[in-house]
Structure 1
C-alpha cells in the first residue's frame, strides 16, 4: 500500500508539471512553493516536540542538507538535458538511474539475487528505454554528453542516499529538512533571477505549488515507509517504483493529454508490467 501511494504520488507530480505548462505557470516559482509546503508537511506529521538543536546534531542532518541541494541541482540538470539533448535522453537518463540503488542494495545490503530477479531488472531497463523514447525526437548523445551523465549519476545518488541515510523513526523530520534546504536555495534562485529579469512573483503559482508540494512529499514519505517494512528489499522496491511511475505516467499522458504512443512505447509498457511481475515474484 505504501509503495502504491508513492507511485500514484510520483505520477501526480507528472500531471502537475503538465498543468503548469498548459496554464503558463512559472515552473520555478511553483517548485519553490512546493518545497515550502513539503517542508511544512514533514514537520506537521512528526509526532513529538521539534527541537531544532537536536535536529542539527542528528547523524542524518548533513546528509539531508546535501540532498536538499541535490534536489534543486538535479532538477536544473534535468531541464538542461531536455533542452540540449532532447526529452527522450533526459527521461531515459533519469529513469535508468534506478540501476544505482539496485546495485547498491545488492552489494551493500546483501539483498537476494537470482536469475529471475536479474531477468526482471534487465527487462525493466529495456522497458524504460522503449517507453521513454518518443517519435519525432532527436536524441543527441554526443552533444553536451556530460549532462545526461550527471543526470544519471545525480538521480541514482539521490535515490540511494535517501534510502541509506533516512532514520527509521524520524522520516518526517528527515524529509522536512531536505525540503527546507531546497526551499532556501530555491528562494535564492528566485531572487537572483528576479533581479535579472524583473519578473514578479505570480500568485497563480501558489495553488499549483501547494498541490505539487503535497504529492511530492507523499512520493518520498511513503517510499521510505515501504523501504522500512520487514521482508522488503530496496532493489525490488526501486525497480517496481520507477517502472510503475513510468508506465502509469505514459498511460495518463495518452488518456488525458492526448499524447501519441508508438508501438515501441506499447511494447515498453508491456515489458514494464512483465518486469514488475518477475521482480515481485522473485
Structure 2
C-alpha cells in the first residue's frame, strides 16, 4: 500500500510542479533533460551499480525500454503543448482518461476477473476523472483541428505508456530488474528530450539559467519515485490492473486538486467536488470487487 501512496502522491505533485515552473520562469526544455539525468543518478545510487551498455543490450526488454522512454519524453512535451494550445483542463482530462486503455486491456491480456461491481466501479472512476478535470467553461481555440487532435493524441500516448508498463511487469521484469529497466527508460527519455530540444533550437547558452537544471533535478527526484513506486504496485499479488489504474488515476486527480487549492488557491467548483466524491465511491467499489 505504501508504494501505491507514493505513486499517487508523486504523480499528483508533477503537474503542480509544472504549474510552479511558470512562476519560477523555468524553461522546460532545459529542465526536462535534467530531470531524466537525475532519475538515472538516483537509480544508480539506489542499486549501487552503474548501467552497463553491454549488459543492457542483451536484455529481452531493451526494445520496450527504448519505446517507453521515447513515449515518456514525448508525453511531457505533448502535455505542455496541449495545455498551451487547447487548455490545461482538457489536457488533464485526456491524460487521465487514458486509464481506460490499460484497464480494458487487462480483461483481455491478463485474464482480470469481470464483475458488475468492477464495471460500475470502473465507470464511476472514469466519470469522476471527467468531473474533476472537465473545464468549468468552454475553452475556445483558433484551430479546431488542434482542439480535437491534441487531446486524442495525448489520450493514446498516455494509454500506451501505462499499457506497456503493465505488459513489461507481467511478462519480462523481475524484482532484480526493476531498477535497471526504469533507469534504461529514463536514459532513452533523456536522449529523446535532447533531440527535441536541439530540433527546437532552445539550447543556446544565452538562454541558460541555473534555475532551469535545478528545477529539473527537483522534478527528477519526484518523477523517479512516482514511476518506480507504480511499477512495484503493479507487481503486487492480488491487485488486478483493471482495478489498480482507476484507483491510481482518481488518487492523482485528488492530490493535484488539493495541492492546487493549497498552493495556488484554486477553488474546487461544484462539478469537481462532486467528481471527488464519486471518485472516492469508485475506489470503495473497486476495493470490494
Instruction: Give the TM interval when normalised to the shorter protein.
Output: over 0.9
Q: Which deviates more from structure 2 when the two are superposed, residues 19-28 or residues 41-50?
A: 41-50
Distance in 2, Cα, partners of 1:32 & 1:49: 19
The match for 1:228 among 191, 212, 235 is 235
Distance in 2, Cα, partners of 1:134 & 1:146: 17
Deviations 1:173-229 (A, max 9, x none): 101111111111222333343468775221112322111101101111011111111
Deviations 1:114-153 (A, max 9, x none): 1111101101111111100232441669532222111111
Match of 1:241 in 2: 248
Distance in 1, Cα, partners of 2:260 & 2:98: 22
Check whether the contact 2:30–2:203 (CA below 8 A) recurs between aligned residues: no
The match for 2:167 among 159, 164, 167 is 164
1:180-195 correspondence to structure 2 within 5 Å: 180-194=187-201
3-state SS in 1 of match to 2:30: helix
1:71 counterpart = 2:72: yes
In structure 2, relative to structure 1, the CA distance for the partners of 1:143 and 1:190 (3 Å cut) is: closer
Match of 1:90 in 2: 91
TM-score, normalization: structure 1? 0.93
Check whether the contact 1:86–1:137 (CA below 8 A) recurs between aligned residues: no
1:280 counterpart = 2:287: yes
Instruction: State the 1:15 CA deviation.
Output: 2.5
In structure 2, relative to structure 1, the CA distance for the partners of 1:100 and 1:268 (3 Å cut) is: same
In structure 2, relative to structure 1, the CA distance for the partners of 1:196 and 1:5 (3 Å cut) is: closer
Match of 1:62 in 2: 63
Check whether the contact 1:68–1:178 (CA below 8 A) recurs between aligned residues: yes
Match of 2:54 in 1: 53
Check whether the contact 2:10–2:225 (CA below 8 A) recurs between aligned residues: yes
For structure 2, the residue ranges without an aligned partner over 5 or more in a row are none
Distance in 1, Cα, partners of 2:98 & 2:140: 18
Check whether the contact 2:126–2:246 (CA below 8 A) recurs between aligned residues: no
Deviations 1:231-282 (A, max 9, x none): 2211111111111000121111112210132101100111111111111111
Check whether the contact 2:3–2:229 (CA below 8 A) recurs between aligned residues: yes
Instruction: State the 1:14 CA deviation.
Output: 2.3
TM-score, normalization: structure 2? 0.91
Distance in 2, Cα, partners of 1:180 & 1:239: 28
Instruction: State the 1:89 CA deviation.
Output: 1.8
Match of 2:145 in 1: 143
Check whether the contact 2:95–2:158 (CA below 8 A) recurs between aligned residues: yes
Q: CA RMSD in A?
A: 2.0
| Count of residue correspondences | 282
In structure 2, relative to structure 1, the CA distance for the partners of 1:8 and 1:157 (3 Å cut) is: same
